[in-house]
A and B are shown apart, each in its own frame.
Chain A
Amino acid sequence: MQNNSLTSDINSASSDTIFCPILSGLNAEQSDCAALIPSGNANGLLIENLSKKENQKIDQVALLCTDPFINKEVLFADLFELGVRSVTNWPSSIFLDQSFSKAMTNIKVSPADEFECLSHAMKSGLDAKAFILSLYHGRKALSLGIRNLIVHPGLKVELSEEAKSTLYESIHLMIETLIAMEPSVKIYIYQHSAEEASAHKARYKDSHLKISGYVVYETSV
């Protein structure tokens, strides 16, 4: 089982971290909303940080896949040259819903567009991990050849223990379905904090659920 962290902290970045500098100063709840926080140039900041020589150890990064100004070929080539070997879609549009989601989809800001971008990265020689929220997202990502999925449990809200159990049961069912569809898929569960990840591990320690590990948000606040 592999544990990765999603972090904006350059100092804690290692081979087990997914580096995402635009999340600097955001807590876990705000990180989920990062696609709607125009606080800087997400991809620009990433390249800027990676370009510093001492940061060559970073090999997993998070991209704003729906940036309308990126030239994907150039970006992926630059990332590869900077030592990056794996990319993921964060900040993500997976939480957008209702009419706002519809409007954003019209300008190509949608999970499907993010997965297309990741698929493009794979063709450029990079590995890709896709954040997904639903079975629909998972199917779409699999159909594009993505074989590493990070299942997000949803926006962080206070839940009763009973509600939490129901939530995770549905997530586990979704994971089993995805594995049945594509046995080679590696699935990670996203957790908003290390505590949340520990609690999940403890709660399902006897489960036969085949997950490859966790991705845990590491707050810099």
Chain B
Amino acid sequence: MNFSSDNKSRFSFAAAVGAGMTAVAAEKGGAEFLLLLNAGRLRMRGAASLSCYLPLENANSWVARIGKTEVLNKCKIPVLMGCSVANPNSSLKQIVDVVSVNGFAGVTNFPTAALIDGKIRDVLEMQNIGFNRECALITEASGRGLKTLAYVTNNEEAMQMVSAGASMLCVNIGFTHSATSEPSDITIDNTVKIIDRALRNIPEEIPTYVEGGPIVTPESALAICVKSRVQGYIAGSTIDRFPLEEAIVEVAKSYRIISQIEPERVSGNNPETDYTYGTSSKMREIQNLVEHYSTREMPILITGPSGSGKTALAEEIHRKSENVRSKMIRVDCLGLTQSGSAEELFGSELGHHGRGSPSHAGILENADNATVLFDEIAALNNDLQTRLLSFIDTGIVRRMGGNRHRKINCRVIATTKEPIEGLLESGKLRDDLYYRLNALEIAIPSLADRSADIPALAKAMLKKKSEKKQKNISNSGLNALMEYSWPGNIRELKHTLTRAVLVSETSTLRSSDFSFLPQIAHKKAEIIPTQEDDNDRQSHYSRPVITEKEWIAEALQRNRFRRGETADELGITTRTLYSKIKKYGIFSP
């Protein structure tokens, strides 16, 4: 067994566990040694670590039994037994005998009285079932050649434990917060101060560790180890309960999602089709409407929020009618110039704009036997809407300034992202035009309202996007997509997948590949898109694949927060790096 203390630059890591499964997993993950504690077992049973103090089991015989039956026969790394000295009916000799007989490599004083304060701690000490007895345990175990790791909270306790013969020290900053307890209010910097105060004058050759408090991620553990005297971290609930709970929730959700993923259908001629629809009943209904009405002549009005796929659906309708309609003409009503929009649509006769002005055909004149799509129909002014109404009724186009009538046979499809009621009320859309257009009205729901379609849509999009890179998506990845609110709808989903495909280094996209999605939007129901939101969304779409902040933060982590090396790697000066850290508020110890 080799517990090193010589190399501060080497980050040391151990795990405090309570079951064979977590012990074996921690060993596989690289833990250098294990502490087998009743707290770990209680966590596995669903209780908080802190309940380790309660009379729920005989801590020592319980931990010894777990060690014997689940851990010591499976793990090759040293395992130290967490021993309680609070029971006055057990002698220290008996306790250490249990440690030796079962084959543990050493002991640790757990649950420790060091975390108990107030008058009851005084009574524990007076009754010799407190921290002083823990020191005696360490002495007893040390005398028998066992390894000893002592939990301490301050310098006095650390000195006492060193005198008692502790071969390692662990500064406990308090129990790590969980869903049932309050977050630690101790900052990383304060933790560093607590550690350094606790370990003042402790001989350098004694390996030192930290546990608990605000440390909940490998990054925070590393940051504390870099800044303080300790060279290692002992992970408890941060290595078993939190990740296990998270993983189980993810997997459970995956089982829920899997039923919503339809077996892959054979693609049609056009890959767009695969992500126009989905598997939800609403989209199935729309698909049936399209199948039934695509070749008819009646106008169609498609409504739906921005980015929901209105244009794609119109294109799909046209494709379905290609045997009767030779082409599709798209009229961007928002883009028509106010002054010349009538001419653009209907054309103008020679001299209409003054002497010598040429004649030209308008869009509609060229639309014979075509599908004409009016994107954002309500953007047309009242005059144009009247003219368009007449055109839909008669199919006749008359150039501006001209008398000649041309009969045009085409299908009109119009779209709008605005709610119809509002458009009619405000007069932005003429009601007579609306009643012509809504011979067939198709309302596409927002993506948030048809999240069941997301797996099928994402898979279809990925298939198209990653033809060269061969990307798949895991159930956890699909789950992450389904949890998001998608204010930008299908368009945002496309952009998100594009970004994830570009950034991800693995062949399968996982939930972590979508961590750039704004966290605030994860709670679907809380967000109601507004007009203003649309602008924000546009800026969100145009975000770079990786932000400068992320670029710097990742480099800092890779270089263990050493700023000189980070600056070198990034090709910037240290001064620039400092100013960027400050600018973005990046955590850097």
The chain A residues found within 8 Å of chain B, CB to CB, are 22, 24-27, 29-30, 32-42, 64, 66-69, 91, 95-104, 106-109, 155-157
Contact = CB atoms under 8 A, between A and B. Distances in A.
What is the interface of chain B mostly: helix, strand, loop, or mixed? Answer: loop
Given A33-B127, A95-B120, A106 B38 contact: no
B56 A41 contact: yes
18 contacts: A33-B129, A35-B54, A36-B124, A38-B52, A38-B53, A39-B58, A39-B87, A42-B56, A64-B54, A64-B55, A68-B46, A98-B118, A99-B174, A103-B50, A104-B53, A107-B47, A109-B51, A155-B123
A100 to B, nearest CB: 5
Given A25-B89, A30-B88, A103-B175, A66 B54 contact: yes
B303 interface: no
B120 A106 contact: no
A99 B117 CA distance: 7
Given A41-B55, A41-B57, A103-B174, A109 B120 contact: no
A156 B458 CA distance: 68
B181 A103 contact: yes
A91 B120 CA distance: 13
Given A69-B45, A107-B48, A107-B50, A38 B56 contact: yes
Among the interface residues B38, B51, B59, B115, which one has the most CB atoms of the partner chain A within 10 A? B51
Given A26-B88, A42-B56, A100-B117, 16 more contacts: A22-B55, A25-B88, A27-B88, A32-B120, A36-B113, A64-B56, A67-B56, A68-B47, A68-B56, A91-B55, A99-B174, A100-B118, A101-B118, A103-B175, A106-B50, A107-B180
A157 B123 contact: yes
Among the interface residues B46, B54, B116, B182, which one has the most CB atoms of the partner chain A within 10 A? B54
A67 to B, nearest CB: 6
Contact of A39 (B50, B86, B119): B86
A98 B116 CA distance: 9
Contacts of B52: 38
Contacts of B127: 27, 29-30, 33
B248 interface: no
Contact of B55 (A29, A35, A97): A35
Interface in B1-51: 38, 42, 45-48, 50-51
B123 A37 contact: no
Contacts of B59: 38-39
Contacts of A67: 54, 56
Interface string B158-182: 0000000000000000110000111
A92 to B, nearest CB: 11
Nearest to B87: A39
Interface residues of B, number: 42
B477 interface: no
Given A97-B118, A107-B180, A156 B123 contact: yes
A127 B121 CA distance: 32
Contacts of B50: 103-104, 106-107, 109
A99 B118 CA distance: 8
B126 interface: yes
B496 interface: no
A30 B117 CA distance: 16
B175 to A, nearest CB: 6
A142 B128 CA distance: 36
Interface in B171-221: 174-175, 180-182
B119 A155 contact: yes
A100 B115 contact: yes
Contacts of A104: 50, 53
B48 A40 contact: no
Contacts of B53: 35-36, 38, 104
Contacts of A156: 123
Nearest to A22: B55
B86 to A, nearest CB: 4
B48 A68 contact: yes
Contacts of A97: 117-120
A106 B118 contact: no
The 10 A-B pairs of least Cβ separation, nearest first, read: A97-B118, A106-B181, A39-B87, A38-B59, A25-B89, A107-B48, A68-B47, A42-B55, A37-B86, A98-B117
A37 B120 contact: no
A157 B56 CA distance: 27
Interface string B267-298: 00000000000000000000000000000000
A9 B89 CA distance: 15
B347 interface: no
Given A39-B87, A41-B55, A155 B120 contact: yes
Contact of B129 (A37, A40, A91, A103): A37
Given A37-B55, A38-B38, A156-B123, A30 B129 contact: yes
A67 B126 CA distance: 27
Contacts of B129: 30, 33, 37
A40 B57 contact: yes
A32 B117 CA distance: 15
B47 A69 contact: yes
B139 interface: no
A136 to B, nearest CB: 16
B119 A95 contact: yes
